Amino acid sequence: MTNHWIDIKNTDCCLIIGSNAAEHHPVCFKWVMKAKEERNATVIHVDPKFSRTSARADFHVPLRSGTDIAFMGGMINYILTNNKYFKDYVKNYTNASFIVNDNFSFNNGLFTGFNPQTKLYDKKNWQFAVDEKGQIRKDPTLQHPRCVINMLKQHFSRYTIQKVSDITGVSPDNLLKVYEAFTATGKADKAGTVLYALGWTQHTVGVQNIRTSGIVQLLLGNIGVAGGGINALRGEPNVQGSTDHCILYHVLPGYLPLPRANMPTLAEYKKKTTPLTNESTSVNWWQNRPKYIVSYLKGFFGKNATKENDFGYNWLPKGDIPKSERDGDYSYIYIMEKMLKGEIKGGSIWATNPAQSLPNTNKNRKALENLDFLYMAEIHQNETTDFWHAPGVDPKKVKTEMFLFPSCHRAEKEGSISNSGRWVLWHYKAVNPMGDSRSMGQIMIDIMKEVIDLYKEEGGTFKEPLVNLNWYKKYDAELVAKRINGYYTSGPNKGKQVNGFSELADDGSTASMNWLYAGSITDDENRMKRRSLKQTPMQKEIGIYPNFSWCWPMNRRVLYNRASVDINGQPWDPSRAVIRWTGATWEGDVPDGGAPPMAMKGGKSPFIMLKDGLGQLYGTGLVDGPMPEHYEPIETPLRNHGFSGQLNNPCAKLATSEMDKIAAPADPRFPIVLTTYSVTEHWCGGSETRNVPSLLEAEPQLYVEISHELAAEKGIKNGDPVIVESMRGRVEAVAMVTVRITPFRVQGRTVHLIGMPFAFGWTKKGIGDATNRLTVWAGDPNTSIPEYKACCVNIRKADKVTELA
Amino acid sequence: MNYSRRDFLKMAGAGAGALALGGLGINYLVTESYAKKLKIKGAKEVISICPFCSVSCHFIAHVKGGQVVSTEGDPGYPISEGALCAKGATMMSMINSHHRVTKPLYRAPYSDKWEEKSYSWMVETLARRIKDTRDKHFVSTNEAGQKVNRLDAMFHAGSSQMSNEECSIVVQAQRALGIVNFDHQARI
Amino acid sequence: MSKAFFIDTSRCTACRGCQVACKEWQEFPANHTKQLGWGSHQNPPDLNCFNYKVVRFTEFKADKRVFWNFFPDQCRHCLEPPCKVAADAHVKNAVVIDKDTGAIIFTERTRKISKTGFLQMKEYCPYNIPRRNEETGIINKCDMCLERVEAGHVPICVKTCPTGAMNFGERGDMLALAQNRLAAVKKDFPDATLLDEGSVRVIYLITHKRDMYHHNAMNEKPAQDASMA
């Protein structure tokens, strides 16, 4: 989230799209209701299905799953053609005036520089034109035909109401209703927020879905302001923290890129990963990257990290350089490919259930059989721990050696987690771990300690990173937190905690396991434990609690808040001020850096994390295009979509094993769109909540929500058992026939959509098994997040039940 | 007395509340108090956080004799102000669940059952597997001859259920082993 | 003291925090529920001796719009409880009224009421609330979390509710809150109304006409009944 949960109350218009907030973040909905009741805010829900969120929205707009770019592209077109954008904001705080170089073009669904063999673009073609000093060429009058705002205008001019309606299945009236309501926030004294979640990310165009909201929110001047922003409602308990600490192949903690094979030295790493800019008002915060990587290495290897050995840089693994869409991608999609082929021999699965919650489950379950060994930490047995005796599997043929460590519940350990608004919150230990269970931290410490001892005693292949590791004896959350925060390793302050990331250095004099968390626990205070509700009147106005817990970065509660003021530092909306320049200093929230407002001497641009300091209406960072473009999901009921001849995202990541079958476009065998989702009463794959009797009582069996129209066509009645089939698998479910699912009118014909939760698995008898046996291993090219939200299926009445019996 | 509901309603509804229950000969002025004993009275209160969505509602665990006897929302967390959803409301059941794994379990290759093992046996046996696999399959250079120092033959599928501190530990451990096949729920 | 709930269904998101928190506080076991042959989010389908509270779901289409109404159903703690009339005829003071709150309490003594007596109590209740544990014979329903209320806490369902649908306090305050909310909600929902606010301690605000809810959402039409009398 750029903003935070309470801030939703400050909005004038809440666009919930790609999220079912009331069902999946139920408690946050109090702030949506507050905006509605106290500000008279309009709440809009755009989603394929009418849900509990829609029930409390002012209006629900059903949209065919996978057509969000068309929907939002129509809004961008509406803003630009009707001059609905916030002129001062766009002019001063975005790259609207930047001129795109002459090489760039867009032709029939492809941007310049696409290589169909590698499925990669050469992004050099998308760059901005520069002058002789290396500065970006701009046209402040916004007249130049190749300046960003005119490029946008041209690109999205194809997204007419009629065309968007034709492809999304949303009526023209409904499109206009949403566009009018939301774009009314493009004024200084109005704010609109976008709440999204997995409904946007889980598509082969996931990141570009989100980019559309970036463009809309910048055009309307809604970034940085109270009641605005782009708010990813993070899905999991500590997914914000686990992402910040980067349990992800491509980054090290604090979003430092993974070293790659073409970065043989630390110097080369710094050079290749540190952005440079010639824009004089840009803070370009990532220029500090060298300080963060060196401090990380120093924390990682302790005193064994020295200037002479590049702080142990070469003891870290290096990924391959992406030469095609799949090289150098070590994410789930390719982990499962390699596991199925037997290239991966062993490993660990910790508190996650891939045999239930990854797409094309039949394949993943098969892949696990090819491992030599697997170690797991879990609180309950689930479809992954017990895959070796799943229905239809003969344990006597499964070699995989399994080690299952019982892990304890959060209430049985202390530590911190980070909520979606980046608040870092301390939790305490209420009781001892049950039985012989332990914290996952303790289990990992013990296993590694044993491995390190073996290397110390016996030697072995490339033992350096292990024997030089700055490791722990036992799990002490506060000690680890201190290492994460960072401390001085030499000099007069040696042994003292750093107070913030500005104290981190690139010479080895500081260590920090995550620069973003610098300031969370100092010598004075564990700020994550703070519980004070003290606020200034200005903070109270918008619900900022600076003394409750601590928030990264530097306790800043609203990101990009320098964009909430005009170039003189005065709030766009004084009644909803986030920060204000008093003439000498800033008051309110912690500003994005202390520099004076933009119009003053030494003033800086507001988007400090972006290289050029300005919001990117056109961005050169993504792999699949500088502007979003509609493509159909990998499996689609359509043969063409009318925006271009390019049916799917040309850069999409695809699994290619024999088990990864994909239906042809408009395959008559699979004419129905399936979308999948969570359910309020269960948690994701469900292995914890299915084992809580009162939650299983509330949602007891796998169901499929279908429209009355489709039910009538197929002769299915409410409560009937049905079979849902895709190219990859077949699933039993109970039909829930409902007015909440509506058939879509697309290209003049009816397209049906059905929806299923994925929380039900075979380890609980009679409740059904993985919905993901139907879904497809196709991923967004930027993130590799799979397309859970749209694939093609068929449905029929079942003669008998086995999985539901 | 043999009223049907409809009869009763007719009587009760006759005239503006004319017929009070007292009129039916019932003494409803009861003087007793019927409250049960409050089970959380005297319990130690410990703050923890619901392990589900990232609203991160805080809850109070009421602890007696080392056992969680009740859980409810923490009104001091300004986001939830004491509220919980259905999932968050079940923290006590979740913590005390009899279904939890409480012993280290081992399944030998081709076996059809789990066996209980001691924690130290698990750690020692597993450490040996990890070392053997790493020693055998470690990759110093890639196909292009570039130095990569990594372990392609192992993977880690991680969790957003861990605290920040645990995440930091797991990342450090897995990267020290040389693992790049490394992912978790943020990508699904 | 005289307590009341105000349940504002216009704010309810059916997160079912109340339903589950109630079970958790009462430490009730789960019922075996199924979707086969049922096909609804409303689970368990009805109140039972282990569910003092069930969120009821009603969906319909009107004027091309979909509506989905949620109704966290529970005992209304009537000012003049018909269940007590029925119960007293069988076992005196099996059902009592708490002096401090006005809560209607089904005591242990309900165990002595015969099955016929129980059916009579159920029949008398305009809201179809009382349930009997067939194993123990005890008749039960919401007890207003009396022990919590006496200790200065609100009932667990109210404590748990995220959106302000569940409210609890002095009856006068709840009535005032209900009227305020009704006035506000009427702007969006002209058919909004309070249910039986003059005769119960659990006052519901609904957004649609009463026939858009389950059969026992409100008392049978009192005006009509009165004219019949």
Does the distance separating the beta carbons of B48 and A403 come in below 8 Å?
no
Cα distances (Å, whole numbers) of residue A284 to A99, A561, A586, C190: 20, 16, 20, 54
pLDDT-wise least confident of A237-241, A610-614, A627-631, B110-114: A237-241
Among B82, B99, B116, the domain boundary falls at B99
Q: Cis link prior to A553 (omega < 30° from 0)? A: yes
Question: Which residue of A lies nearest to C165 if distances are taken between CA atoms?
Answer: A30
Cβ atoms of A507 and A495 within 8 Å: the answer is no
Most A CBs within 10 A among B74, B160, B175, B177, hence the mutation to make, goes to B160
pLDDT computed for residue A325 by the predictor: 85
Which residue from B128, A644, A30 is spatially nearest to C13, judged by alpha carbons? A30
Quick one: tokens of A668?
């008559």
Q: How far is C195 from chain B (nearest CA, A)?
A: 15
Does the distance separating the beta carbons of B55 and A5 come in below 8 Å?
yes
For residue A400, count other CB atoms closer than 10 A to its CB: 18
More reliable by pLDDT, B36 or B104: B104
pLDDT digits (tens, 9 = 90+) for B17-44: 333 444 444 444 444 566 678 999 999 9
Please tell me what DSSP assigns to residue C153.
P
Instruction: Kindly state the average pLDDT of the residues A605-629.
Output: 96
Instruction: Give the separation between CA A746 and CA A732, rounded to whole angstroms.
Output: 28
Question: Which residue of C lies nearest to B33 if distances are taken between CA atoms?
Answer: C98
Chain A residues touching chain C at CB-CB below 8 Å: 22-23, 26-27, 29-30, 33, 37, 50, 52-56, 60, 680-681, 693-703, 718-721, 734-740, 742, 801, 804
| B83 contacts chain C (CB < 8 A) | yes
Which residue from C71, C204, B174 is spatially nearest to A316, judged by alpha carbons? B174
In 3-state terms, what secondary structure has residue A534?
Answer: coil
CATH number, position B73: 2.20.25.90
Cα distances (Å, whole numbers) of residue A724 to A209, A707, A734, A737, A784: 28, 15, 10, 14, 26
Cβ atoms of A63 and A171 within 8 Å: the answer is no
**Which residues in chain A are closer than 8 Å to B160, comparing Cβ atoms?**
236-239, 241-243, 247
| A764 contacts chain B (CB < 8 A) | no
Residues in contact with C87: Cβ distance below 8 Å, sequence separation at least 6, in sequence order: C94, C95, C106, C110, C113, C117, C121, C139
**Which residues in chain B are closer than 8 Å to C144, comparing Cβ atoms?**
none
Which residue from C27, C46, C66, C72 is spatially nearest to C166, judged by alpha carbons? C72
Question: What rounded mean pLDDT belongs to chain A?
Answer: 97
Does the distance separating the beta carbons of A683 and B87 come in below 8 Å?
yes
Instruction: Give the separation between CA A642 and CA A602, rounded to whole angstroms.
Output: 49
Provide ipTM, 2 decimals.
0.97
Say if residue B14 is in the same domain as residue B37: yes
pLDDT computed for residue B32 by the predictor: 59
pLDDT digits (tens, 9 = 90+) for A477-514: 999 999 999 999 999 999 999 999 999 999 999 999 99
Q: How far is A241 from chain B (nearest CA, A)?
A: 6
**Which residues in chain B are closer than 8 Å to A247, comparing Cβ atoms?**
156, 158-160, 167, 170-171, 182-184, 186
Most C CBs within 10 A among B34, B62, B79, B93, hence the mutation to make, goes to B34
Question: Which residue of B lies nearest to A200 if distances are taken between CA atoms?
Answer: B188
With a pLDDT cut of 90, the percent of chain A lying above it is 99
pLDDT digits (tens, 9 = 90+) for A83-130: 999 999 999 999 999 999 999 999 999 999 999 999 999 999 999 999
Question: Which residue of A lies nearest to C45 if distances are taken between CA atoms?
Answer: A698
| C91 contacts chain B (CB < 8 A) | no
pLDDT digits (tens, 9 = 90+) for A227-246: 999 999 998 879 999 999 99
Considering its fold, how many domains does chain B have in total? 3
Q: Is A194 exposed, middle or buried (0-12, 13-18, 19+ CB in 10 A)?
A: buried
Cβ atoms of A612 and A134 within 8 Å: the answer is no
Does the distance separating the beta carbons of A734 and C36 come in below 8 Å?
yes
Say if residue B161 is in the same domain as residue B132: yes
Residues in contact with A608: Cβ distance below 8 Å, sequence separation at least 6, in sequence order: A282, A283, A284, A285, A562, A592, A593
Residue labelled with tokens 């689970």: C43
pLDDT computed for residue B188 by the predictor: 87
Instruction: Give the separation between CA A302 and CA A470, rounded to whole angstroms.
Output: 5
Instruction: Kindly state the average pLDDT of the residues A726-748.
Output: 98
Instruction: Give the separation between CA A752 and CA A750, rounded to whole angstroms.
Output: 6
Please tell me what DSSP assigns to residue A667.
-
Quick one: tokens of A746?
């697309």
For chain A, the C-alpha Rg in angstroms (whole number) is: 26
Among B99, B132, B167, the domain boundary falls at B99
Instruction: Give the separation between CA A332 and CA A354, rounded to whole angstroms.
Output: 9
Say if residue B110 is in the same domain as residue B180: yes
Cβ atoms of A299 and A486 within 8 Å: the answer is yes
Does the distance separating the beta carbons of B12 and C151 come in below 8 Å?
no
pLDDT computed for residue A347 by the predictor: 98
- Is the pLDDT reported for residue A317 higher than 50? yes
Q: Is A351 exposed, middle or buried (0-12, 13-18, 19+ CB in 10 A)?
A: buried
**Which residues in chain B are closer than 8 Å to A407, comparing Cβ atoms?**
101
Say if residue B180 is in the same domain as residue B109: yes
Buried b (16+ CB within 10 A) or exposed e, C203-222: bbbbbbeeebbbeebbbeeb
Phi, psi of C179 (to 5 degrees): -65, -40
- Is the pLDDT reported for residue A70 higher than 70? yes
Instruction: Give the separation between CA C54 and CA A699, rounded to whole angstroms.
Output: 13
Say if residue B50 is in the same domain as residue B30: no
Instruction: Give the separation between CA C92 and CA A4, rounded to whole angstroms.
Output: 56
**Which residues in chain C are closer than 8 Å to B83, comparing Cβ atoms?**
17, 159-163
Instruction: Give the separation between CA A336 and CA A657, rounded to whole angstroms.
Output: 10
Smallest Cβ distance to C17: which of B17, B28, B86? B86
Instruction: Give the separation between CA A36 and CA A57, rounded to whole angstroms.
Output: 9
pLDDT computed for residue B175 by the predictor: 98
Amino acid at A722: V
Say if residue B31 is in the same domain as residue B49: no
Say if residue B72 is in the same domain as residue B111: no
pLDDT-wise least confident of A275-284, A736-745, B13-22, C114-123: B13-22
Amino acid at A657: S
Phi, psi of A16 (to 5 degrees): -100, 110
Band of residue B15 on the pLDDT scale cut at 50, 70, 90:
very low
Say if residue B5 is in the same domain as residue B30: yes
Say if residue B61 is in the same domain as residue B127: no
pLDDT digits (tens, 9 = 90+) for C123-158: 999 999 999 999 999 999 999 999 999 999 999 999
Whether the CA torsion A158, A159, A160, A164 is positive or negative: it is: positive
Instruction: Kindly state the average pLDDT of the residues A175-183.
Output: 98
| C59 contacts chain A (CB < 8 A) | yes
| B174 contacts chain C (CB < 8 A) | no
pLDDT, tens digit only, all 229 positions of chain C: 599 999 999 999 999 999 999 999 999 999 999 999 999 999 999 999 999 999 999 999 998 899 999 999 999 999 999 999 999 999 999 999 998 899 999 999 999 999 999 999 999 999 999 999 999 999 999 999 999 999 999 999 999 999 999 999 999 999 999 999 999 999 999 999 999 999 999 999 999 999 899 989 988 654 433 333 3
Q: How far is A60 from chain C (nearest CA, A)?
A: 9
**Which residues in chain C are closer than 8 Å to A701, comparing Cβ atoms?**
34-36
- H helices within A136-226, ranges in order? 148-156, 161-168, 172-183, 198-201, 206-219
Amino acid at C114: S
pLDDT digits (tens, 9 = 90+) for A713-735: 999 999 999 999 999 999 999 99
- Is the pLDDT reported for residue A136 higher than 70? yes
pLDDT digits (tens, 9 = 90+) for A583-600: 999 999 999 999 999 999
Q: How far is C202 from chain A (nearest CA, A)?
A: 22
pLDDT digits (tens, 9 = 90+) for B129-164: 999 999 999 999 999 999 999 999 999 999 999 999
**Which residues in chain B are closer than 8 Å to C147, comparing Cβ atoms?**
35-39
Q: How far is C107 from chain B (nearest CA, A)?
A: 8
pLDDT digits (tens, 9 = 90+) for A413-430: 999 999 999 999 999 999
pLDDT computed for residue A6 by the predictor: 98
Does the distance separating the beta carbons of A472 and B49 come in below 8 Å?
no
In 3-state terms, what secondary structure has residue A611?
Answer: coil
Say if residue B156 is in the same domain as residue B179: yes
Does the distance separating the beta carbons of C100 and B8 come in below 8 Å?
no
Smallest Cβ distance to A740: which of C24, C33, C59? C59
Which residue from A599, A564, A667, A509 is spatially nearest to A223, judged by alpha carbons? A564
| B5 contacts chain C (CB < 8 A) | yes
**Which residues in chain B are closer than 8 Å to A406, comparing Cβ atoms?**
100-105
Q: Is A644 exposed, middle or buried (0-12, 13-18, 19+ CB in 10 A)?
A: middle
Does the distance separating the beta carbons of A436 and B95 come in below 8 Å?
no
Say if residue B91 is in the same domain as residue B162: no
- Relative to beta strand A791-797, strand A721-725 is antiparallel
- Is the pLDDT reported for residue A445 higher than 70? yes
In order of their start, the domains of chain C are 3-75+157-212 (3.30.70.20), 82-146 (3.30.70.20)
Say if residue B78 is in the same domain as residue B125: no
pLDDT computed for residue A225 by the predictor: 98
For residue A717, count other CB atoms closer than 10 A to its CB: 13
Q: Which structural domain, as residue segments, surrounds residue B8?
A: 1-41
